[in-house]
Each structure stands twice: as structure tokens, then as C-alpha cells.
Chains A and B, each alone.
Chain A
Amino acid sequence: MVKKIGRFFASRLGIITVGVIIGLTAAILQKLGNPPNMGVCVACFQRDIAGALGLHRAGVVQYIRPEIIGFVLGSMIAALAFKEFRARAGSAPIVRFMLGLFAMIGALAFLGCPWRAILRLAGGDGNALIGLAGLSLGIFLGVQFLKGGYNLGRSHKTYTLVGLILPAIMVTLLLFLLVKPSFIFFSKKGPGAMHAPLVISLGAALVIGFLAQRSRFCTMGAIRDVVLMGDFHLLSGVIAMVITAFVANLAFGATKFGVVAQPIAHSSHLWNFLGMILSGLAFSLAGGCPGRQLFLAGEGDGDSATFIIGMIVGAAVAHNFTLAGKPDKVVEGVVSTGGITTAGMIAVVVGILFCCSVGFFMRDKMDKGV
């Protein structure tokens, strides 16, 4: 029975089913209170967690998002149930940390990771197309490095405790969310104050974490596999997610078609594009989208855990140094286009240069199997 379930989620129908469930869940979470087109955005939610911990003081984006906790713990439950929990670590941790940091800076320039780009598209936000184009180009660049022999080196089996650290951090965050100690920040207004009921968010995320661990759902891998090997397996799950979220949004009356003044988005096209190039490149060099990194961490992957901590620190850097994108604003009927500051532009360019350096200089002969 267990094997049968395992086989189903590894199949084409399995990944499509998971995409449908994620798309539907995201739309429902938006309906129940999560910010618009942000039913589940991994980067945004990690940014909110960074804020809740006081790592940055952007008052409108501070909340301990149970979705992130649920993703990790749901994946851990699946990995334990199917005997796939394997503590491992040791593959270029500092590089993974920095890739996480820059992936976040890129995502916050665009105002969303690949997950939110998909949900923004499903909500009618045309800027998402530019973001997804940038993401695809970033992944395409990453694939070129992979083909050229780029490799972060092998991870190694390690003590079980190592694999339990990030799940333990998630349990601690859940306690903070329940107890609300005074040192944790919770937004009074803005996106950070918008959230679906805790139990529903957590429950839904546990289910998604479980299913994504089984099906290996990955928004970056979806595009990478097509570019690298013409394999549409993972992409079919992502397409199912877009279509389902779009249909559900239509049903809920939650779509708003256009490009300007979209919810929590800006229409500064060049930086939407470049921000997502940075993100796509960083995710492809690190081997997974931010969601996949959470699921891998749930399976005991200490390197993914390092990437995730890098992303959370990246969110703090992005807001403390005012690198993150500012949404378009409408004041008395006049649209003022948002975007990123000069510092943000510099950070995105530096990030792309960093990632290209990693891709170029961390090459080795595959035959040696390093």
C-alpha cells in the first residue's frame, strides 16, 4: 500500500494532482485572509518570519507564517513515513547560504518567489509574465553552468540530529506563534497583518509539505528539466497549479487583470525581470526552488537548511538596506510606479555577478565524481 502511494505521486498524474491541490489551497488561503496573490509565497513568508523575529523592522511584513512551518514538518512526516528521512550535509554550506541570500534579494526586488509569480499570474497580474520570463532565463543560465560541469560537491551522511535542526527551529517558531512572546513582532497593518486562520494555514501546509515531498514538486526544477532534458514531468505540476489557482480565483472573484497597480506588485519591468533572473539563477545553482528547499530540509538535508537560513537573512538585508521592491501606488486616481532603489539595483547586479562567479569557478570534471 505504502509503495503504491509512493508510485502514484512519482507518476505524471501524481504530480498534476499535487499541482491542483497546491493551486486550490493557495486560492482558498487568499480567500480566507492571506494577502492577495500570496496564498503561499515561500520568499514572502520567510521575509515575514524574518520581520517577526525582529531581524528587520519593516512593520508591515512581520508575521510567523505557519505555512513555512507546515511545509517543513509535513515533508518530514512524509519522509519518516516512507523511510526517506536521511540526515546529510556538507556540500559547500557557505555558498548555499549566499545563494539563499541573493535568491531572496532577487525575489524581493520582484516581490515574490516563483510560487508567488505563479499565483500572481493566476490572479491576472501581467507583471508575473515578465517575472517568469526572467526566472526562466536565470534557470537557463544555471543549466549552462550545470552543463559546463558546475557542481557544489557531494553531501555526506551525518548524525540524525543535524537533519532535525531546521524542523526543531520550525517547532520553536510555532511555539512563538502560539505563545506570542513580547519579543516577536506582529504587523498591525499591511500584508503582514493579513492571514488565514492559523489552524487552516498550518493544516493546509502540512498536507502540501507531505504531498510535495512525495511528488518532488519544484517550480525551478519544472523549468530546468525542460531546458536540460526536454522533460515536462515537473512542469505539468506547475501548469496544473496555475490553471487551478486561476479557475479558483475566477470563482472567488479574486482576479484583477492588468499590469499597473496590481496587489503588492510593481510595474518596473526591467527590475522585475532582472530580480527574477537573479532568483532563478540562484535557485538553479542551489538545486531547488524555495519550496523544494523547505521540503528537502524536512527530509534531513542540512544544506537546504543552510540555504533557507540564507534566505531569511537575505530578507533582513533586503529590508534593512531598503533593497526590496516598493509596490505601485494609486494616490487620488494617479498611479505612481513602484520599483527598487538604487541600492536595490546594485544588490541585484552584485547578486547576478556572484552567482555567475559561483557557476563559473565551481566547475570540476564530472568524471572525477567530485
Chain B
Amino acid sequence: MAQTVDVRGLSCPQPVIVVKKAIDKGEFPLTVLLDAMVACENVKRMAESIGYSVSVEEKENEFLLDIKKGTV
């Protein structure tokens, strides 16, 4: 089942912790909504470091991250 996590407005390292918990739930595809470039980089780095593929879409200063199983 797909899941969406909204981490807008959360300060570091909360976005990473919340997304890690969502990944651990094991429901994919996982969509993450962010509003800070830093959080975006951190979440991407964390997800990729544990073997997930991440695609980023940016619009109007917000970011949509798509996290999928397996590297590209």
C-alpha cells in the first residue's frame, strides 16, 4: 500500500527520523512532502544509504520525494 508522509516545517533531524520510520513500515511507494532543501538532501542521503532509490520533484519551493525499493 502506498503511503505519504508530510514533514514540512519539521526541523532536522525530524524529517529523517519520520521518513526512516515510514520506510521501516515497508509500504511502498513512499511519497514524502518537504519544504526545505536541507531536509530534502538529508532524507535522500539516508534513503539511498540503505539501498532505496529516490527521485525528487521540486515545485514552488516544496519538494516531493518518491522513495522506491532497490537502487536505480
Q: How far is the CB of B51 from chain A (nearest CB, A)?
A: 14
- Report if A229-B16 is in contact (Cβ < 8 Å); known contacts: A88-B9, A155-B11, A303-B11: yes
Q: Is B56 part of the binding interface, using a Cβ–Cβ cutoff of 8 Å?
A: no
Task: Give residues 275-307 of A contacting B (CB, 8 Å).
Answer: 287-288, 303
Q: What is the count of residue pairs linking A and B with beta-carbon distances less than 8 angstroms?
A: 53
Task: Give residues 18-68 of B contacting A (CB, 8 Å).
Answer: 18, 20-21, 35-38, 41, 45-46, 49, 61
> Are the CB atoms of B12 and A155 closer together than 8 Å?
no
Q: How far is the CB of A10 from chain B (nearest CB, A)?
A: 5
Mask: chain A, 219-235; 1 = CB below 8 Å from B; 0 = not: 00100110011010100
Assembled-state Cα–Cα distance A231/B17 (Å): 13
Q: Is A156 part of the binding interface, using a Cβ–Cβ cutoff of 8 Å?
A: yes
Q: How far is the CB of B32 from chain A (nearest CB, A)?
A: 11
Q: Is B13 part of the binding interface, using a Cβ–Cβ cutoff of 8 Å?
A: yes
> Are the CB atoms of A287 and B17 closer together than 8 Å?
no
Q: Looking at chain A, what size class is its interface with the partner chain?
A: 20 to 34
> Are the CB atoms of A366 and B17 closer together than 8 Å?
yes
Q: Is A200 part of the binding interface, using a Cβ–Cβ cutoff of 8 Å?
A: no
Q: Is A151 part of the binding interface, using a Cβ–Cβ cutoff of 8 Å?
A: yes
A-B contact pairs, 12 of them (CB 8 A): A84-B37, A91-B11, A146-B13, A152-B11, A154-B8, A154-B9, A155-B11, A157-B35, A228-B13, A229-B49, A367-B21, A369-B5
7 smallest beta-carbon distances between A and B, as pairs: A154-B9, A287-B11, A155-B9, A366-B18, A287-B12, A84-B37, A10-B41
| New contact pairs (16) apart from A216-B41, A229-B46, CB-CB < 8 Å | A10-B41, A84-B37, A86-B35, A151-B14, A154-B9, A154-B10, A155-B11, A156-B9, A221-B12, A224-B13, A228-B16, A228-B17, A287-B11, A287-B14, A288-B12, A369-B7
